[in-house]
Amino acid sequence: MILYLRKILLILLDKILNIVKELKLIILKNKMESLYHYTSINKLGLILSSKKIRFTRLDHVNDPNEGRTSDFGTMNRYILVSCWTKHKEENLALWNMYTEKMRGVRIELPMPIFQNYSNEETNDSLVPEDQLYNKNKGYLIYDATNSPTDITYTDDHDKLNPNIRTNKGLDVKNLGIYKKKIWLIENETRFIIRIVPFNENETEDSFSRALENKTAPPIDHYDIDINVESLKKMKIRIGPKIHPGDLEIIKALIDKYNPYALVEESVLTGEIK
């Protein structure tokens, strides 16, 4: 009887701790004013026309080391991310890396960027409960916390390549949150979606084999709607080497898809040859 009560108390304590953690994340998210995303004019057009932000699998991002483990190979195909920075000051490195010849844009969106949804596990989800499992395509989204995570930059091998096998299965919560110090210049914060191939008609053994065999999920990206109020307050800062024709394209996109958006000139304009 005592052991049973102890087990129940531990379960309740774990639930309370998870609730406290979620409340802290929500408070932190509400305190955060805006996030910034450097991108090309082409991708700006896709964002404006769809009013969505694309989450991309880690095996398609520019850091080939992400998602590696010490005991289960790479898990980069099971993690999708949307990458931002909290730093308001313009970052010359990000202009160079993510906008072609510094002729792209920096998108600023105020928090919360995405709509919030509740399900049995959390009150802070990016994805509605009825969309977590896609029967037709055969995948399951099992983690989609609607709070950005600051990347920790480290050269610690154990953090960059953690052991994820446990008695309860695979513990992947520390994947996608560490990067080598060479990436420190990005000052990245990201939203994370974790996904696995899944078929409700298959047995648990089949699901385990799919992971053991590194079967990739059937999608390589996932699009999330931008919160309507955040979209209305969008600011678009044009690249420091923008051409007159580029600017006309940007203005035309804004006029057609988001006339509320404000256009700003880069503070670096005229400072770079």
pLDDT recorded at residue 214: 81
User: Is the CB of residue 241 less than 8 Å from the CB of residue 102?
Assistant: yes
Residues 6+ apart with CB under 8 A from 226: 47, 51, 52, 53, 109, 113, 114
Whose tokens are 């531990």? That residue is 10
pLDDT recorded at residue 155: 97
Chain-centre distance for alpha carbon 161? 20
Model pTM? 0.85
Alpha helices (H) in 161-257, listed in sequence order: 204-212, 228-232, 244-257
CA distances from 77 to 64, 80, 198 (A): 12, 8, 14
Distance CA 119, CA 73 (A): 31
Q: Is 2 exposed, middle or buried (0-12, 13-18, 19+ CB in 10 A)?
A: exposed
User: Is the CB of residue 219 less than 8 Å from the CB of residue 199?
Assistant: no
Q: How do the domains of the chain map onto residue ranges?
A: 1-31, 32-264
End-to-end CA distance of the chain: 76
Q: What is the dihedral of CA 223, 218, 151, 173, to 10 degrees?
A: 120
CA distances from 164 to 155, 173, 174, 220 (A): 18, 9, 9, 23
β partners of residue 149: 190
- Within 13 Å, how many C-alpha atoms sit on residue 258's CB side? 26
Give the pLDDT confidence of 86-106 residue by residue, as tens digits: 999 999 999 999 999 999 999
Report helix angle 244-257 to 41-50, nearest 10. 10
Give the pLDDT confidence of 192-242 residue by residue, as tens digits: 999 999 877 765 555 566 777 788 899 999 999 999 999 999 999 999 999
Tens-binned pLDDT, residue by residue, of the chain (273 aa): 554 445 555 555 556 555 545 554 454 445 559 999 999 999 999 999 999 999 999 999 999 999 999 999 999 999 999 999 999 999 999 999 999 999 999 999 999 999 999 988 888 999 999 999 999 999 999 999 999 999 999 999 999 999 999 888 889 999 999 999 999 999 999 999 999 998 777 655 555 667 777 888 999 999 999 999 999 999 999 999 999 999 999 999 999 999 999 999 999 999 988
Buried b (16+ CB within 10 A) or exposed e, 43-73: bbbebbeeeebebbbbbebeeeebbbbeebe
